[in-house]
Amino acid sequence: MYFISTRGNERVTGAEAVVQGLAKDGGLFVPEKFPSVSAEEMERMLAMDYPERAALVLSKYFDEYDKDELLSALKAAYAQFDDGDAAPLVKVENGMFMLELYHGPTCAFKDMALTVLPYLLRKGCDLLGIKETVLILVATSGDTGKAALEGFRDREGVKIMVVYPDDGVSKMQKLQMCTQDGENVNVVAVKGNFDDCQTTVKRIFHSEECKEELAKRNIRLSSANSINFGRLAPQIAYYFSAYLDLVSSEQIKMGDKVDFTVPTGNFGNILAAYYAKQMGLPVGRLVCASNRNNVLTDFLLRGVYDVSKRPFFKTMSPSMDILISSNLERLLFELSGRDAALTAERMESLVKTGKYSVRAEELKSIREQFYAGYASEDDTVDCVYEFFTEYGYPMDPHTGVAMFVAERYHESLEKETPPVTPAPMVVVSTASPYKFPQAVYYALTGNDVKDSFKGIKRINLLTAMKVPESLKEIRYKPIRFKTSVSADKIFEEVLKFVG
């Protein structure tokens, strides 16, 4: 399997795509053609456990990796998850299901890929004969940072540095990162928002001068953000697994269509669902759920992406506080008929003018495949409260955003003439409620709590939901990382870190 750049100037193997992260022309790597999962393979996957299902999906993309070794790596990765079930599907009511992706080491869906990426990267380096130390440089809006730090800590031949917006993550997310163990890790706060972090990190990747400075130190750059296909690919697997769980539990028949609602910021998680559909998964509509930073909602409804004058809001769902959704470039590439020149032109327009638009036929395709909506802060609070009151099911704010938009989507179907019967809906639950204790406690009770650990205790008393051990122990860990810089100083911190 080969991968090509969305901007047209590169063709590489899977190992090269993982190790390199970004294409040299600034584009993102996408499969040269989408592999398919046949009906016979789907039937075989019914009897498989989660690592086996994931191995089948990943082997379609990374065919130069040994299949048995890949399966062993996936079994080791997902053995770190609670109760040995990486992606449990929970039935809420008839036709509505929650795909819980937060049972890993850092209590967020990023663990689904970032427990696997270290293997893909290390093995990729071995296949390519790369001997330099690899520096993983990560911009995070909260969850990716901790999951990447935990996945790569003390890995041989790797260093990892995470930058995050100083005032743009939850208190628990910040504690998770700043107390991180490991001799090869570094965490730096940035005075700005996530887009400032992400833009600067991309600039470093594109800079020949930065690469030369690192090469002098025998350092090679790579990424753990979802711009790296090695981060994106493991996420495709859980959409297949959720569908197969619906079949095996007799909620649907093989071949029936299923809708997915995904809380979305950088567009990676919902793009993985779109890729699953391209591989043959019977997906109906993909429901893109945004918070108050609803640039994706506007784009998917109107076909115009415009951040030129759009304000940035800090919300209770900080992992979605993003205005520049990097993975949307991959969708644009597909919608345009894989027109790399047009994709590059649009990305250049975004940099220069803060906006771009798509053609009428592309917008028609978007509307056929996607539904888009957003939740205000009040909408999110009300949804978390009402859902717990009705079902006894606690949700984090990001999942609250998703559930609110899923319900609005079903209401829109009822208003059709004649009314449309919705397909079964899987809502993707991306984080443990305990990662956002202040926001969840407020939503459930209307009361504020300043201390994160008091919030955890009070939520536990209210819900009886088990508190993850990894969050309990943070309370007693020392703060290791306190550096805060402006975005233009990030590369200076990189050089200090690598020595």
Give the pLDDT confidence score for residue 84 in this predicted structure. 78
Give the pLDDT confidence score for residue 108 in this predicted structure. 96
Kindly state the percentage of the chain with pLDDT values over 90.
97
190 bridge partner residues: 165, 485
What are 160-213's pLDDT values in tens digits? 999 999 988 999 999 999 999 999 999 999 999 999 999 999 999 989 999 999
Residues 246, 260 contacting (CB under 8 angstroms): no
* Token digits of residue 321: 């506080």
What are 301-354's pLDDT values in tens digits? 999 999 999 999 999 999 999 999 999 999 999 999 999 999 999 999 999 999
Give the pLDDT confidence score for residue 171 in this predicted structure. 92
Whether residue 222 has pLDDT greater than 90: yes
Q: Which domains does the chain have, with CATH numbers?
A: 85-106+230-468 (3.40.50.1100)
Task: Sheet with 425-429: list strands edge to edge.
Answer: 89-93, 96-100, 425-429, 258-263, 283-290, 370-374
Whether residue 104 has pLDDT greater than 90: yes
Q: What is the mean pLDDT of residues 256-260?
A: 98
Q: Say what the pTM is.
A: 0.95
Nearest to 319 by CA among 74, 78, 144: 144
Give the pLDDT confidence score for residue 232 in this predicted structure. 97
Give the pLDDT confidence score for residue 425 in this predicted structure. 98
Give the pLDDT confidence score for residue 282 in this predicted structure. 98
- Sign of the CA dihedral running 243, 244, 245, 246: positive
What are 62-95's pLDDT values in tens digits? 999 999 999 999 999 999 999 878 999 999 999 9
Neighbours of 82 (CB within 10 A): 16
The one-character DSSP state at 426 is E
What are 429-453's pLDDT values in tens digits? 999 999 999 999 999 999 999 999 9
Helix ranges, 249-339 (H): 268-278, 295-302, 328-335
C-alpha neighbours within 13 Å on the C-beta side of residue 319: 34
DSSP string, 380-395: HHHHHHHHHHHH----
Q: What is the mean pLDDT of the chain?
A: 96
- 357 to each of 247, 276, 307, how far by Cα in Å? 39, 26, 12
Give the pLDDT confidence score for residue 141 in this predicted structure. 86
Q: Show which residues are catalytic.
A: 110
pLDDT band at 142 (very low <50, low <70, confident <90, very high): confident
Q: What are phi and psi of 483, to 5 degrees?
A: -70, 135
Give the pLDDT confidence score for residue 143 in this predicted structure. 86
What are 13-24's pLDDT values in tens digits? 999 999 999 999
What are 374-411's pLDDT values in tens digits? 999 999 999 999 999 999 999 999 999 999 999 999 99
- Residues 6+ positions from 5 with CB-CB distance below 8 Å: 11, 23, 24, 25, 27, 28, 29, 30, 340
Looking up tokens 């008091």 gives 454
Q: What is the mean pLDDT of residues 32-58?
A: 98
Give the pLDDT confidence score for residue 298 in this predicted structure. 97
pLDDT band at 9 (very low <50, low <70, confident <90, very high): confident
Q: How far apart are CA 196 and CA 349, in angstroms?
A: 18
